[in-house]
């Protein structure tokens, strides 16, 4: 089944404790992206990747890191999480490099930073 | 400053009637628009899109209308069904590799 998977689905952590949210897709998509969703703000892009070893900042990259060593995986790293990073996070992927191509989203990771 | 606005946080519609979800944008350079639908505990899924060279695009029960002069687009769902109850996001192509998203409208279809 074609899908985007994220782990963990739920995470409660404390300020400053490094964490990684994994994202994997099995559709051989070139483009992958991370978003955060906050009430009243819709989805805001954190980072995106056009292909392996090609990443770039989105609208809200501060406090986050990503890597794209393999085509299928695009982990999101929070080196020192803070309470303002409490949010719902989505990973997405799409075929080719055109942003207008349909994006396939993972189920989301709800992160709480205390 | 939000460039894509969905001013109605929620909308309630009777089953079988038309649902109209609205979206306004401020940047006249946006040239492509998309609607995504989101159920609870799931990621958004693509619904329908429209290029700025068109004013209408139809796919089954779903039609998107674009009014460039008013910087306004709308999604029409006819007839509305219970399975249409979800949050609907409008998004605009804000650059080569980015989408600018609205805050979403929660659609509730009443039986």
φ, ψ of residue B4 to 5 degrees: the values are: -125, 120
A40 Cβ under 8 Å from any chain B Cβ = yes
The CA distance from B33 to A67, in Å, is 29
pLDDT at B104 over 90: yes
Q: Which of A25, A46, A100 to mutate to test the interface with B (most CBs of B within 10 A)?
A: A100
Percent of chain A at pLDDT > 70 equals 96
Q: pLDDT per residue over B19-57, tens digit each?
A: 999 999 999 989 899 999 999 989 999 999 999 999 999
Q: Are B73 and B90 in contact (CB under 8 A)?
A: yes
* DSSP category for residue A102: P
Closest chain A residue to B4, measured at CA:
A42
Query: Which residues are within 8 A (CB) of B33 and not within 5 positions of it... i.e. 6 or more apart?
Result: B23, B25, B49, B50, B52, B64, B66, B73, B90, B91, B92, B93
Closest chain A residue to B96, measured at CA:
A99
Supply the pLDDT for residue B93.
86
Cβ separation of B93 and A105 shorter than 8 Å?
no
Partners of residue A109 in chain B, C-beta under 8 Å: none
The CA distance from A28 to A2, in Å, is 10
DSSP A29-85: -SEEEEEEEETTTEEEEEEEEEETTEEEE-S--TT-EE--SSSSB--EEESS--GGG
Q: pLDDT per residue over B47-98, tens digit each?
A: 999 999 999 999 999 999 999 999 999 999 999 999 999 999 999 987 667 8
């Amino acid at each position: 089944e074609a899908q985007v998977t994220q782990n963990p689905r739920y995470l409660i952590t404390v300020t400053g404790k490094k964490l990684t949210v994994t994202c994997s897709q099995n559709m051989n998509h070139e483009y992958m992206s991370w978003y955060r969703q906050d009430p009243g703000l819709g989805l805001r892009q954190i980072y995106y990747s056009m292909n392996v070893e090609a990443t770039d900042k989105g609208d809200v990259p501060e406090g986050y890191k990503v890597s794209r060593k393999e085509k299928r995986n695009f982990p999101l790293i929070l080196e020192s999480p803070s309470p303002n990073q409490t949010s719902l996070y989505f990973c997405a992927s799409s075929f080719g490099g055109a942003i207008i191509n349909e994006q396939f989203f993972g189920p989301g990771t709800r992160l709480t930073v205390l | 400053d939000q460039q894509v606005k969905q001013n109605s946080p929620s909308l309630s519609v009777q089953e079988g009637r038309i649902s109209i979800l609205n979206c306004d944008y401020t940047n006249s350079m946006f040239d492509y628009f998309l609607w995504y639908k989101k159920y609870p505990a799931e990621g958004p899924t693509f619904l329908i899109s429209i290029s700025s060279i068109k004013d209408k695009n139809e796919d089954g029960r779903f039609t998107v209308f674009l009014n460039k002069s008013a910087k306004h687009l709308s999604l029409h769902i006819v007839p509305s069904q219970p399975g249409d109850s979800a949050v609907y996001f409008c998004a605009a192509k804000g650059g080569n590799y980015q989408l600018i998203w609205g805050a979403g409208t929660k659609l509730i279809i009443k039986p």
